Structure 1
Amino acid sequence: MVNKVPFSIRNRVMKYPLWFLVIALMLAVSSSSGFCDSGSVKPDAGKSQADTPVLPSATTQAEKAISQVMMDKLSNAVGSEYVIGAEDVLDITVWRNPDLSRQVQVRPDGRISMPIIRDVVAVGKTPTKLAEEMTNKLKEYVQNPVVAVTLKEVNSSNIFLLGEVAHPGKYPLKSKTTLLQGITMAGGFKETAARNQIVIFRFTETAPGMKRFTASYDDIVLRSGISDNFELKPGDTLVVPSESMVVFPGR
Protein backbone atom coordinates (compact mmCIF):
# COMPACT_ATOMS: atom_id res chain seq x y z
CA MET A 1 0.00 0.00 0.00
CA VAL A 2 1.41 3.40 -1.04
CA ASN A 3 1.70 5.92 1.74
CA LYS A 4 0.22 9.23 0.77
CA VAL A 5 1.87 12.47 1.72
CA PRO A 6 -0.39 14.25 4.15
CA PHE A 7 -2.19 17.19 2.60
CA SER A 8 -0.86 19.58 5.22
CA ILE A 9 2.77 18.77 4.32
CA ARG A 10 2.13 19.06 0.59
CA ASN A 11 0.46 22.36 1.14
CA ARG A 12 3.49 23.71 3.04
CA VAL A 13 5.91 22.54 0.32
CA MET A 14 3.87 24.13 -2.45
CA LYS A 15 3.94 27.45 -0.65
CA TYR A 16 7.69 27.78 -1.34
CA PRO A 17 8.57 28.37 -5.01
CA LEU A 18 11.51 26.67 -6.74
CA TRP A 19 13.81 29.69 -6.48
CA PHE A 20 13.48 29.63 -2.70
CA LEU A 21 14.67 26.03 -2.57
CA VAL A 22 17.62 26.84 -4.87
CA ILE A 23 18.72 29.72 -2.62
CA ALA A 24 18.42 27.52 0.44
CA LEU A 25 20.62 24.90 -1.21
CA MET A 26 23.27 27.52 -2.14
CA LEU A 27 23.35 28.82 1.42
CA ALA A 28 23.82 25.33 2.75
CA VAL A 29 26.78 24.69 0.39
CA SER A 30 28.47 28.00 1.16
CA SER A 31 28.12 27.54 4.91
CA SER A 32 29.67 24.10 4.73
CA SER A 33 32.67 25.31 2.69
CA GLY A 34 33.28 28.36 4.90
CA PHE A 35 34.33 31.87 4.03
CA CYS A 36 37.77 32.89 2.74
CA ASP A 37 40.05 34.62 5.16
CA SER A 38 41.55 37.89 4.03
CA GLY A 39 45.31 38.19 4.24
CA SER A 40 47.38 40.85 5.90
CA VAL A 41 50.39 42.85 4.92
CA LYS A 42 53.65 41.24 5.84
CA PRO A 43 55.61 43.28 8.40
CA ASP A 44 59.11 44.30 7.40
CA ALA A 45 62.02 43.09 9.48
CA GLY A 46 62.65 45.56 12.27
CA LYS A 47 59.17 47.09 11.98
CA SER A 48 56.37 46.51 14.42
CA GLN A 49 53.13 45.10 13.07
CA ALA A 50 51.32 48.07 14.56
CA ASP A 51 53.14 50.32 12.08
CA THR A 52 52.13 48.24 9.07
CA PRO A 53 48.63 48.68 7.59
CA VAL A 54 46.50 45.60 7.22
CA LEU A 55 45.40 44.95 3.65
CA PRO A 56 43.26 42.12 2.25
CA SER A 57 44.77 39.73 -0.30
CA ALA A 58 43.87 36.66 -2.32
CA THR A 59 44.89 33.59 -0.35
CA THR A 60 42.91 30.62 -1.66
CA GLN A 61 43.58 28.55 -4.76
CA ALA A 62 40.15 29.44 -6.14
CA GLU A 63 40.84 33.15 -5.80
CA LYS A 64 44.24 32.75 -7.46
CA ALA A 65 42.63 30.96 -10.41
CA ILE A 66 39.96 33.64 -10.80
CA SER A 67 42.58 36.37 -10.52
CA GLN A 68 44.75 34.75 -13.19
CA VAL A 69 41.80 34.51 -15.56
CA MET A 70 41.06 38.19 -14.98
CA MET A 71 44.68 39.18 -15.64
CA ASP A 72 44.86 37.06 -18.81
CA LYS A 73 41.68 38.62 -20.19
CA LEU A 74 42.95 42.13 -19.50
CA SER A 75 46.30 41.41 -21.14
CA ASN A 76 44.66 39.91 -24.21
CA ALA A 77 42.26 42.84 -24.55
CA VAL A 78 45.07 45.40 -24.48
CA GLY A 79 47.72 43.55 -26.42
CA SER A 80 50.47 42.25 -24.19
CA GLU A 81 53.18 43.08 -26.75
CA TYR A 82 52.53 46.82 -26.65
CA VAL A 83 55.49 48.69 -25.18
CA ILE A 84 54.53 51.35 -22.65
CA GLY A 85 55.73 54.88 -23.34
CA ALA A 86 55.82 58.24 -21.61
CA GLU A 87 52.42 59.92 -21.11
CA ASP A 88 50.50 56.65 -21.53
CA VAL A 89 47.67 56.17 -19.03
CA LEU A 90 47.57 52.82 -17.20
CA ASP A 91 44.95 51.12 -15.07
CA ILE A 92 46.73 49.22 -12.29
CA THR A 93 44.47 46.67 -10.57
CA VAL A 94 45.69 44.79 -7.50
CA TRP A 95 43.20 41.98 -6.99
CA ARG A 96 41.16 42.42 -3.81
CA ASN A 97 43.22 45.47 -2.82
CA PRO A 98 41.35 48.58 -3.97
CA ASP A 99 43.61 50.78 -1.82
CA LEU A 100 46.56 49.73 -3.98
CA SER A 101 44.72 49.98 -7.32
CA ARG A 102 44.67 53.19 -9.30
CA GLN A 103 44.88 54.87 -12.68
CA VAL A 104 48.23 56.51 -13.35
CA GLN A 105 49.94 58.40 -16.16
CA VAL A 106 53.52 57.55 -17.04
CA ARG A 107 55.70 60.53 -16.18
CA PRO A 108 58.21 62.07 -18.62
CA ASP A 109 60.99 60.28 -16.69
CA GLY A 110 59.35 56.95 -17.56
CA ARG A 111 58.14 56.09 -14.06
CA ILE A 112 54.81 55.69 -12.28
CA SER A 113 54.10 56.20 -8.59
CA MET A 114 52.22 53.53 -6.63
CA PRO A 115 51.36 53.00 -2.95
CA ILE A 116 53.87 51.05 -0.83
CA ILE A 117 56.27 50.20 -3.68
CA ARG A 118 56.57 53.87 -4.73
CA ASP A 119 58.28 54.65 -8.06
CA VAL A 120 58.36 51.93 -10.72
CA VAL A 121 59.91 52.21 -14.19
CA ALA A 122 57.15 51.59 -16.75
CA VAL A 123 58.58 52.90 -20.03
CA GLY A 124 60.02 50.26 -22.34
CA LYS A 125 58.03 47.39 -20.79
CA THR A 126 54.94 45.53 -21.91
CA PRO A 127 51.86 45.60 -19.63
CA THR A 128 52.48 41.93 -18.81
CA LYS A 129 56.12 42.54 -17.87
CA LEU A 130 55.21 45.53 -15.70
CA ALA A 131 52.49 43.51 -13.95
CA GLU A 132 54.98 40.73 -13.17
CA GLU A 133 57.52 43.17 -11.71
CA MET A 134 54.90 44.91 -9.59
CA THR A 135 53.63 41.55 -8.34
CA ASN A 136 57.14 40.61 -7.21
CA LYS A 137 57.61 43.96 -5.45
CA LEU A 138 54.28 43.64 -3.62
CA LYS A 139 55.10 40.15 -2.33
CA GLU A 140 57.20 41.81 0.35
CA TYR A 141 54.10 43.49 1.73
CA VAL A 142 50.99 41.58 0.55
CA GLN A 143 50.30 37.86 0.62
CA ASN A 144 49.81 36.35 -2.84
CA PRO A 145 49.31 39.61 -4.75
CA VAL A 146 47.93 39.52 -8.28
CA VAL A 147 48.45 42.62 -10.43
CA ALA A 148 46.86 43.43 -13.80
CA VAL A 149 48.07 46.33 -15.95
CA THR A 150 45.64 47.68 -18.54
CA LEU A 151 46.46 50.28 -21.15
CA LYS A 152 43.83 53.01 -20.80
CA GLU A 153 45.17 55.67 -23.16
CA VAL A 154 47.97 55.58 -25.74
CA ASN A 155 49.75 58.92 -25.78
CA SER A 156 53.31 57.85 -26.43
CA SER A 157 53.35 56.97 -30.14
CA ASN A 158 55.10 60.22 -30.90
CA ILE A 159 58.62 61.45 -31.54
CA PHE A 160 59.98 64.88 -30.70
CA LEU A 161 62.14 66.77 -33.20
CA LEU A 162 63.88 69.78 -31.70
CA GLY A 163 66.57 72.29 -32.52
CA GLU A 164 67.71 73.35 -35.96
CA VAL A 165 64.97 71.78 -38.06
CA ALA A 166 62.44 73.71 -40.11
CA HIS A 167 59.41 72.72 -38.04
CA PRO A 168 60.36 71.49 -34.55
CA GLY A 169 57.66 69.80 -32.53
CA LYS A 170 55.87 66.54 -31.74
CA TYR A 171 55.14 64.14 -34.60
CA PRO A 172 53.04 60.94 -34.63
CA LEU A 173 54.92 57.72 -35.25
CA LYS A 174 52.46 55.75 -37.38
CA SER A 175 54.88 53.29 -39.00
CA LYS A 176 58.55 52.36 -39.09
CA THR A 177 60.48 55.60 -39.35
CA THR A 178 64.24 56.05 -39.69
CA LEU A 179 66.28 58.95 -38.38
CA LEU A 180 66.48 60.62 -41.81
CA GLN A 181 62.75 60.15 -42.35
CA GLY A 182 62.10 61.80 -39.00
CA ILE A 183 64.16 64.83 -39.99
CA THR A 184 62.24 64.99 -43.27
CA MET A 185 58.95 65.02 -41.33
CA ALA A 186 60.18 68.19 -39.60
CA GLY A 187 61.00 69.88 -42.90
CA GLY A 188 64.72 69.11 -42.98
CA PHE A 189 67.68 71.00 -41.57
CA LYS A 190 68.02 74.74 -41.18
CA GLU A 191 71.16 76.35 -42.62
CA THR A 192 72.53 76.74 -39.10
CA ALA A 193 72.12 73.05 -38.24
CA ALA A 194 75.08 71.02 -37.01
CA ARG A 195 73.88 68.05 -39.03
CA ASN A 196 76.81 65.86 -38.03
CA GLN A 197 76.09 66.24 -34.32
CA ILE A 198 72.53 64.87 -34.16
CA VAL A 199 71.59 63.59 -30.71
CA ILE A 200 68.80 61.12 -29.90
CA PHE A 201 67.50 60.50 -26.38
CA ARG A 202 65.61 57.28 -25.69
CA PHE A 203 64.09 55.51 -22.71
CA THR A 204 65.32 51.93 -22.31
CA GLU A 205 64.14 49.09 -20.10
CA THR A 206 67.63 47.97 -19.09
CA ALA A 207 69.01 51.32 -17.95
CA PRO A 208 67.34 53.90 -15.71
CA GLY A 209 66.63 57.29 -17.21
CA MET A 210 67.39 57.98 -20.87
CA LYS A 211 70.04 56.61 -23.19
CA ARG A 212 71.88 58.97 -25.53
CA PHE A 213 72.80 58.19 -29.14
CA THR A 214 74.67 60.33 -31.64
CA ALA A 215 74.49 60.29 -35.42
CA SER A 216 76.07 62.10 -38.35
CA TYR A 217 74.15 63.03 -41.48
CA ASP A 218 77.29 62.96 -43.62
CA ASP A 219 78.23 59.50 -42.33
CA ILE A 220 74.79 58.15 -43.24
CA VAL A 221 74.52 59.77 -46.68
CA LEU A 222 78.11 60.17 -47.89
CA ARG A 223 80.03 57.44 -46.09
CA SER A 224 77.51 54.57 -46.20
CA GLY A 225 76.86 54.75 -42.48
CA ILE A 226 73.58 52.91 -42.92
CA SER A 227 73.69 51.56 -39.37
CA ASP A 228 73.49 55.14 -38.06
CA ASN A 229 70.17 55.63 -39.87
CA PHE A 230 68.44 53.58 -37.20
CA GLU A 231 64.73 53.22 -36.59
CA LEU A 232 63.11 55.75 -34.28
CA LYS A 233 61.04 54.46 -31.36
CA PRO A 234 57.97 55.96 -29.66
CA GLY A 235 59.07 58.64 -27.22
CA ASP A 236 62.41 59.34 -28.92
CA THR A 237 63.64 62.92 -28.73
CA LEU A 238 65.85 63.99 -31.63
CA VAL A 239 67.88 67.17 -31.20
CA VAL A 240 69.73 68.94 -34.00
CA PRO A 241 72.03 71.55 -32.42
CA SER A 242 73.24 74.75 -34.00
CA GLU A 243 76.72 75.01 -35.49
CA SER A 244 77.37 77.91 -33.14
CA MET A 245 76.57 75.87 -30.03
CA VAL A 246 79.02 73.87 -27.98
CA VAL A 247 76.56 71.11 -27.14
CA PHE A 248 78.70 68.55 -25.38
CA PRO A 249 82.03 70.01 -24.20
CA GLY A 250 84.87 67.52 -24.07
CA ARG A 251 83.14 65.09 -26.39
Structure 2
Amino acid sequence: MKRAYLLIFTVGVLSLSMLLAAARTVHGQNFTGTVVPQSNPESPQQGTAGEGDDINDPFLAESTGPTGQSENEETPESTDIPEFIRAMSHYTLGTGDILEIEVLRHPEISGQYIINNEGNIQYEFVGDVSVADKTKDEVKNILMERLATYIIAPEVTVKIVGYNSKIVYVIGEVGAPGKIFMRGDTITVHEALMQAGLPLLSAKTTAGRVITPAQDGRAAIRKVNISKLLYDGDLRENLVMKPGDTLYVPATFLAKTMRVLQPIAAPIGTAAGTGRTVMTGF
Protein backbone atom coordinates (compact mmCIF):
# COMPACT_ATOMS: atom_id res chain seq x y z
CA MET A 1 0.00 0.00 0.00
CA LYS A 2 2.87 2.38 0.85
CA ARG A 3 4.53 1.59 -2.48
CA ALA A 4 1.35 2.55 -4.33
CA TYR A 5 1.18 5.91 -2.53
CA LEU A 6 4.88 6.52 -3.24
CA LEU A 7 4.37 5.73 -6.92
CA ILE A 8 1.38 8.09 -7.19
CA PHE A 9 3.34 10.87 -5.46
CA THR A 10 6.33 10.40 -7.80
CA VAL A 11 4.12 10.51 -10.91
CA GLY A 12 2.43 13.68 -9.65
CA VAL A 13 5.75 15.44 -9.04
CA LEU A 14 7.04 14.51 -12.51
CA SER A 15 3.82 15.70 -14.17
CA LEU A 16 3.97 19.04 -12.35
CA SER A 17 7.62 19.51 -13.37
CA MET A 18 6.78 18.84 -17.03
CA LEU A 19 3.90 21.33 -16.95
CA LEU A 20 6.11 24.06 -15.45
CA ALA A 21 8.81 23.46 -18.07
CA ALA A 22 6.26 23.63 -20.88
CA ALA A 23 4.83 26.86 -19.49
CA ARG A 24 8.27 28.50 -19.42
CA THR A 25 8.90 27.42 -23.03
CA VAL A 26 5.59 28.82 -24.25
CA HIS A 27 6.13 32.09 -22.35
CA GLY A 28 9.51 32.57 -24.02
CA GLN A 29 8.20 32.22 -27.60
CA ASN A 30 7.26 35.24 -29.75
CA PHE A 31 3.96 34.55 -31.54
CA THR A 32 3.66 37.99 -33.13
CA GLY A 33 6.26 37.30 -35.78
CA THR A 34 7.70 40.78 -35.40
CA VAL A 35 11.27 41.68 -34.57
CA VAL A 36 11.84 44.23 -31.89
CA PRO A 37 14.22 46.81 -33.34
CA GLN A 38 17.39 47.41 -31.40
CA SER A 39 18.54 50.92 -30.73
CA ASN A 40 21.51 52.15 -32.74
CA PRO A 41 23.66 54.65 -30.89
CA GLU A 42 24.80 56.25 -34.18
CA SER A 43 21.29 56.82 -35.49
CA PRO A 44 19.52 60.07 -34.55
CA GLN A 45 16.91 59.92 -31.84
CA GLN A 46 13.30 59.68 -32.83
CA GLY A 47 11.19 62.83 -32.71
CA THR A 48 7.66 63.23 -31.58
CA ALA A 49 5.05 60.53 -31.82
CA GLY A 50 4.26 59.67 -35.42
CA GLU A 51 7.72 60.48 -36.84
CA GLY A 52 9.57 57.32 -37.74
CA ASP A 53 7.44 55.06 -35.58
CA ASP A 54 7.20 51.44 -36.66
CA ILE A 55 3.58 50.36 -36.81
CA ASN A 56 4.69 46.76 -36.16
CA ASP A 57 6.41 47.73 -32.93
CA PRO A 58 4.61 45.81 -30.20
CA PHE A 59 5.37 48.60 -27.73
CA LEU A 60 3.21 50.93 -29.84
CA ALA A 61 0.27 48.58 -30.05
CA GLU A 62 -1.99 50.87 -28.07
CA SER A 63 -2.74 54.09 -29.91
CA THR A 64 -3.47 57.26 -28.07
CA GLY A 65 -6.33 59.61 -28.72
CA PRO A 66 -6.17 63.35 -29.17
CA THR A 67 -6.15 63.92 -25.41
CA GLY A 68 -3.19 61.62 -24.81
CA GLN A 69 -5.30 58.84 -23.25
CA SER A 70 -5.36 55.33 -24.58
CA GLU A 71 -8.36 54.48 -26.73
CA ASN A 72 -8.84 51.26 -24.73
CA GLU A 73 -8.63 53.08 -21.41
CA GLU A 74 -12.00 53.35 -19.72
CA THR A 75 -13.07 56.70 -18.38
CA PRO A 76 -14.07 56.44 -14.70
CA GLU A 77 -17.82 56.52 -14.38
CA SER A 78 -19.13 59.48 -12.43
CA THR A 79 -21.48 58.70 -9.57
CA ASP A 80 -24.17 61.26 -8.91
CA ILE A 81 -25.19 61.15 -5.27
CA PRO A 82 -28.54 62.80 -4.71
CA GLU A 83 -29.06 64.97 -1.69
CA PHE A 84 -30.92 63.42 1.21
CA ILE A 85 -32.14 64.67 4.52
CA ARG A 86 -29.98 63.80 7.49
CA ALA A 87 -31.74 62.18 10.44
CA MET A 88 -30.37 64.55 13.06
CA SER A 89 -32.52 67.41 11.85
CA HIS A 90 -34.71 69.60 14.03
CA TYR A 91 -36.99 67.61 16.28
CA THR A 92 -40.65 68.49 16.69
CA LEU A 93 -42.18 67.43 19.99
CA GLY A 94 -44.98 64.93 20.36
CA THR A 95 -46.94 62.85 22.85
CA GLY A 96 -44.74 60.98 25.31
CA ASP A 97 -41.67 63.17 24.99
CA ILE A 98 -40.11 64.41 28.23
CA LEU A 99 -38.89 67.99 28.64
CA GLU A 100 -36.53 69.31 31.27
CA ILE A 101 -37.30 72.97 31.95
CA GLU A 102 -34.93 75.03 34.06
CA VAL A 103 -35.61 78.62 35.10
CA LEU A 104 -32.54 80.37 36.44
CA ARG A 105 -32.79 81.19 40.19
CA HIS A 106 -36.27 79.63 40.35
CA PRO A 107 -35.96 75.92 41.19
CA GLU A 108 -39.60 75.85 42.34
CA ILE A 109 -40.78 75.99 38.72
CA SER A 110 -37.97 73.90 37.26
CA GLY A 111 -38.26 70.18 36.56
CA GLN A 112 -39.22 67.51 34.06
CA TYR A 113 -42.56 67.49 32.27
CA ILE A 114 -44.18 64.80 30.10
CA ILE A 115 -46.24 65.78 27.07
CA ASN A 116 -49.72 64.29 27.50
CA ASN A 117 -52.03 62.86 24.86
CA GLU A 118 -53.42 66.31 24.16
CA GLY A 119 -49.96 67.64 23.30
CA ASN A 120 -49.70 69.80 26.43
CA ILE A 121 -47.51 70.05 29.51
CA GLN A 122 -48.95 71.08 32.86
CA TYR A 123 -46.69 73.90 34.00
CA GLU A 124 -46.85 75.85 37.24
CA PHE A 125 -48.20 79.40 37.22
CA VAL A 126 -49.26 79.37 33.58
CA GLY A 127 -51.30 76.15 33.37
CA ASP A 128 -51.38 73.94 30.28
CA VAL A 129 -48.92 74.84 27.54
CA SER A 130 -49.40 73.39 24.05
CA VAL A 131 -46.02 72.11 22.84
CA ALA A 132 -46.95 69.45 20.27
CA ASP A 133 -45.39 69.92 16.82
CA LYS A 134 -43.08 72.60 18.19
CA THR A 135 -39.31 72.64 18.64
CA LYS A 136 -37.65 73.12 22.01
CA ASP A 137 -36.62 76.65 21.02
CA GLU A 138 -40.23 77.54 20.28
CA VAL A 139 -41.28 76.13 23.65
CA LYS A 140 -38.57 78.22 25.31
CA ASN A 141 -39.89 81.41 23.73
CA ILE A 142 -43.47 80.59 24.78
CA LEU A 143 -42.46 79.96 28.38
CA MET A 144 -40.37 83.12 28.58
CA GLU A 145 -43.29 85.16 27.29
CA ARG A 146 -45.75 83.67 29.79
CA LEU A 147 -43.40 83.75 32.78
CA ALA A 148 -42.63 87.41 32.14
CA THR A 149 -45.96 88.17 33.85
CA TYR A 150 -44.63 86.77 37.14
CA ILE A 151 -40.82 86.98 36.82
CA ILE A 152 -38.65 89.86 35.68
CA ALA A 153 -36.53 88.86 32.65
CA PRO A 154 -36.87 85.08 33.06
CA GLU A 155 -34.00 82.94 31.77
CA VAL A 156 -35.35 79.61 30.58
CA THR A 157 -33.52 76.52 29.35
CA VAL A 158 -35.41 73.67 27.66
CA LYS A 159 -33.89 70.23 27.06
CA ILE A 160 -35.34 67.04 25.59
CA VAL A 161 -34.50 64.18 27.93
CA GLY A 162 -36.95 61.60 26.57
CA TYR A 163 -37.55 60.83 22.89
CA ASN A 164 -40.70 58.74 22.82
CA SER A 165 -43.09 60.15 20.22
CA LYS A 166 -41.44 59.09 16.94
CA ILE A 167 -40.72 55.43 16.22
CA VAL A 168 -39.49 53.35 13.28
CA TYR A 169 -39.23 49.56 13.15
CA VAL A 170 -36.43 47.28 11.97
CA ILE A 171 -37.38 43.63 11.50
CA GLY A 172 -35.79 40.58 9.93
CA GLU A 173 -32.20 39.37 9.91
CA VAL A 174 -30.52 41.98 12.11
CA GLY A 175 -28.79 41.82 15.46
CA ALA A 176 -31.56 43.38 17.56
CA PRO A 177 -34.84 43.74 15.65
CA GLY A 178 -37.51 45.94 17.16
CA LYS A 179 -38.54 49.57 17.43
CA ILE A 180 -36.17 52.52 17.40
CA PHE A 181 -36.93 55.85 19.05
CA MET A 182 -35.98 58.65 16.69
CA ARG A 183 -34.04 61.72 17.78
CA GLY A 184 -35.08 63.70 14.73
CA ASP A 185 -38.05 64.08 12.43
CA THR A 186 -36.36 61.65 10.03
CA ILE A 187 -33.80 58.86 10.24
CA THR A 188 -31.74 57.17 7.54
CA VAL A 189 -31.46 53.45 6.85
CA HIS A 190 -27.80 53.52 7.85
CA GLU A 191 -28.51 55.02 11.27
CA ALA A 192 -31.41 52.65 11.84
CA LEU A 193 -29.14 49.68 11.15
CA MET A 194 -26.45 51.03 13.47
CA GLN A 195 -29.00 51.07 16.30
CA ALA A 196 -30.68 47.77 15.45
CA GLY A 197 -27.45 45.87 14.82
CA LEU A 198 -25.74 44.92 11.58
CA PRO A 199 -27.31 42.30 9.27
CA LEU A 200 -26.70 38.67 10.18
CA LEU A 201 -25.00 36.12 7.93
CA SER A 202 -28.45 34.78 7.07
CA ALA A 203 -29.59 38.17 5.70
CA LYS A 204 -30.19 38.80 2.02
CA THR A 205 -28.71 42.28 2.08
CA THR A 206 -29.42 42.97 -1.59
CA ALA A 207 -33.19 42.80 -1.14
CA GLY A 208 -34.01 45.13 1.75
CA ARG A 209 -37.33 46.96 1.88
CA VAL A 210 -38.55 50.21 3.44
CA ILE A 211 -42.30 49.97 4.02
CA THR A 212 -44.31 53.14 4.53
CA PRO A 213 -47.92 52.65 5.69
CA ALA A 214 -50.73 54.60 4.06
CA GLN A 215 -54.21 55.56 5.21
CA ASP A 216 -55.85 53.72 2.31
CA GLY A 217 -54.21 50.46 3.39
CA ARG A 218 -51.78 50.28 0.47
CA ALA A 219 -48.25 50.51 1.81
CA ALA A 220 -45.52 52.13 -0.27
CA ILE A 221 -42.51 49.84 -0.64
CA ARG A 222 -39.04 51.09 -1.55
CA LYS A 223 -36.15 48.76 -2.35
CA VAL A 224 -32.81 49.28 -0.63
CA ASN A 225 -29.54 47.45 -1.30
CA ILE A 226 -28.05 47.27 2.18
CA SER A 227 -24.91 45.58 0.88
CA LYS A 228 -24.06 48.53 -1.37
CA LEU A 229 -24.82 50.98 1.43
CA LEU A 230 -22.73 49.34 4.15
CA TYR A 231 -19.88 47.78 2.20
CA ASP A 232 -19.58 49.98 -0.92
CA GLY A 233 -20.54 53.32 0.60
CA ASP A 234 -23.28 53.98 -1.95
CA LEU A 235 -25.23 56.83 -0.33
CA ARG A 236 -27.96 56.54 -2.95
CA GLU A 237 -29.17 53.52 -0.95
CA ASN A 238 -29.32 55.54 2.28
CA LEU A 239 -33.06 56.11 2.14
CA VAL A 240 -34.83 58.44 4.53
CA MET A 241 -37.34 56.91 6.95
CA LYS A 242 -40.17 58.76 8.66
CA PRO A 243 -42.09 57.88 11.84
CA GLY A 244 -44.05 54.66 11.36
CA ASP A 245 -41.83 53.27 8.60
CA THR A 246 -40.50 49.70 8.74
CA LEU A 247 -37.12 48.46 7.48
CA TYR A 248 -37.33 44.78 6.52
CA VAL A 249 -34.16 42.71 6.02
CA PRO A 250 -35.20 39.33 4.54
CA ALA A 251 -33.45 36.00 4.97
CA THR A 252 -31.71 34.11 2.19
CA PHE A 253 -33.34 31.09 0.55
CA LEU A 254 -30.81 28.78 2.21
CA ALA A 255 -31.59 30.19 5.66
CA LYS A 256 -35.33 29.75 5.12
CA THR A 257 -34.82 26.17 3.92
CA MET A 258 -32.68 25.26 6.93
CA ARG A 259 -35.29 26.64 9.30
CA VAL A 260 -37.93 24.41 7.72
CA LEU A 261 -35.75 21.29 7.73
CA GLN A 262 -34.26 21.75 11.18
CA PRO A 263 -37.39 20.73 13.16
CA ILE A 264 -37.72 17.66 10.95
CA ALA A 265 -34.07 16.65 11.13
CA ALA A 266 -33.71 17.20 14.89
CA PRO A 267 -35.69 14.11 16.05
CA ILE A 268 -34.00 11.99 13.38
CA GLY A 269 -30.59 13.04 14.65
CA THR A 270 -31.64 12.29 18.22
CA ALA A 271 -32.87 8.85 17.22
CA ALA A 272 -29.64 8.13 15.38
CA GLY A 273 -27.69 8.87 18.53
CA THR A 274 -29.87 6.67 20.76
CA GLY A 275 -30.56 3.88 18.29
CA ARG A 276 -34.33 4.35 18.48
CA THR A 277 -36.88 4.55 15.68
CA VAL A 278 -38.83 7.80 15.30
CA MET A 279 -42.13 8.00 13.41
CA THR A 280 -42.16 11.27 11.42
CA GLY A 281 -45.74 10.88 10.23
CA PHE A 282 -44.87 10.80 6.51
- Length-normalised TM-score, structure 2: 0.32
- Greater Rg over alpha carbons, structure: 2
TM-score, structure 1 length as denominator? 0.36
